[in-house]
Structure 1
Amino acid sequence: MYKFLEATVADHMTRSVRSVSREMTMRELEDLFERDDFNAYPVVEDGRAIGLVTKYDFLNCFAFHPTQMLPHYDDLMNRTIGDIMTPDFIYVHADTKLTRVLQLMVEHQTRSIPVLDGARKLAGIISREDVIKAVASFTKAKP
C-alpha cells in the first residue's frame, strides 16, 4: 500500500480522451452520453481545455426553477455546450499524486478529472476506475 502513496496520475490515467467543442448542441451531447456512457467531457478549444460538461449540467437545463420559465424542448436541445458547461472545473496534472486525486474525487463526488499540462492542453483523464485499478495493483498480495 505504501507504493500507492507515491503513485502519480501519469502512470494510471487514460491518455486517449474524448472531448467536445463549445459549439456542439445539447442534442449532440445527449447522443454522446448515450453512446459512450461517460459522465463528463472536457470542452476543448484550440487544443486547450476551457471547461467541463457533465450529465448534471445537461440535466440541470431541464430542472424547474421558480424564477424562470422552461423553454420548449427543441429550444433546449439546440442550446450549445458553451451555454451549459462549467468553465471553472477541477483538473490535475500528470505529476499529481493519486492520493490527491482520490481526495478530490471523494470531496467533490466526481467520477473523472481531466489531466492538463502546463498550457492547459488536455493530456488525459483519470477516472474512478483508473484509481480503483491502481489501488488494487498496489494492495494485491505478492507471492
Structure 2
Amino acid sequence: MSTFLEETAADCMTRSVKTVTRDLTMPALMLLFERDDFNAYPVVEGAHVVGLVTKLDFLRCFAFTPAQMVPRYDDLMRTVVADVMTPTFIYAGAETKLTRILQLMVEHRVRSIPVIDAEKLIGIVSREDVMKSLKRCSGEV
C-alpha cells in the first residue's frame, strides 16, 4: 500500500474527458448524463475550463422551494448549462498526490475532480479511478 502514497493524479486520471459548453440545453445535458452515466462534466469555453456541471446542479433547479412551490418545468428545460453550472470548483494538477485528491473528495463530497495543467484540462479523477489505484497498489489486480 505504500505505493498508493506516491500515486499522483497523472498516474490514475482518465485522460479522455468528455466536456460540455455553456450553451448546452438542459434536455441535451440530461441525455448526456443518461448516456454516459457520469456525475459531472467540466464546462469549457475555448481551451479553458469555466465551470463544472453535476447531476445535482441539474436536479437542483427542479426542486421545490418555499419561493417556488411549483417549478416551471417548461421554462427550466429551456435554460442552459451556464445557468446551472458551478463556476468555482475544486481541481487538481497532474502532480497532485492521489491521497490529497481523495481527501478533497471526502471533505467536499465530490465524485470527480478535473485535472488542469497550464490552464488546460488534461484529465479527470473520479472515485472509480481512486478505487482502481487502491486495488492496483494493494496487489489485488
Q: TM-score range by the shorter chain?
A: over 0.9
Partner Cα separation in structure 2 for residue 79 and residue 35 of structure 1: 20
Q: Within the alignment, does 1:110 sit opposite 2:110 as a pair?
A: yes
Identify the residue that residue 124 of structure 1 maps to in structure 2.
123
CA 1:108–1:94: 2 relative to 1, 3 Å: same
Aligned-pair distance for 1:75? 1.0
CA 1:141–1:91: 2 relative to 1, 3 Å: closer
Partner Cα separation in structure 1 for residue 72 and residue 136 of structure 2: 49
Unaligned runs of 5+ in 1: none
Partner Cα separation in structure 2 for residue 141 and residue 73 of structure 1: 47
Secondary structure of the equivalent of 1:106? helix
Aligned-pair distance for 1:11? 1.2
With normalisation by structure 2, the TM-score equals: 0.95
Aligned-pair distance for 1:72? 2.6
Aligned-pair distance for 1:67? 2.1
Secondary structure of the equivalent of 1:137? helix
Identify the residue that residue 11 of structure 2 maps to in structure 1.
11
Aligned-pair distance for 1:71? 4.6
Identify the residue that residue 85 of structure 1 maps to in structure 2.
85
Kept in 1, the 8 Å contact 2:52–2:89? The answer is: yes
Count of residues paired in the alignment: 141
Superposed CA RMSD: 1.5
Aligned-pair distance for 1:127? 0.7
Partner Cα separation in structure 2 for residue 31 and residue 15 of structure 1: 22
With normalisation by structure 1, the TM-score equals: 0.93
Partner Cα separation in structure 1 for residue 91 and residue 10 of structure 2: 13
Identity of aligned pairs, percent? 62
Secondary structure of the equivalent of 1:5? helix
CA 1:23–1:70: 2 relative to 1, 3 Å: farther
Aligned-pair distance for 1:64? 1.2
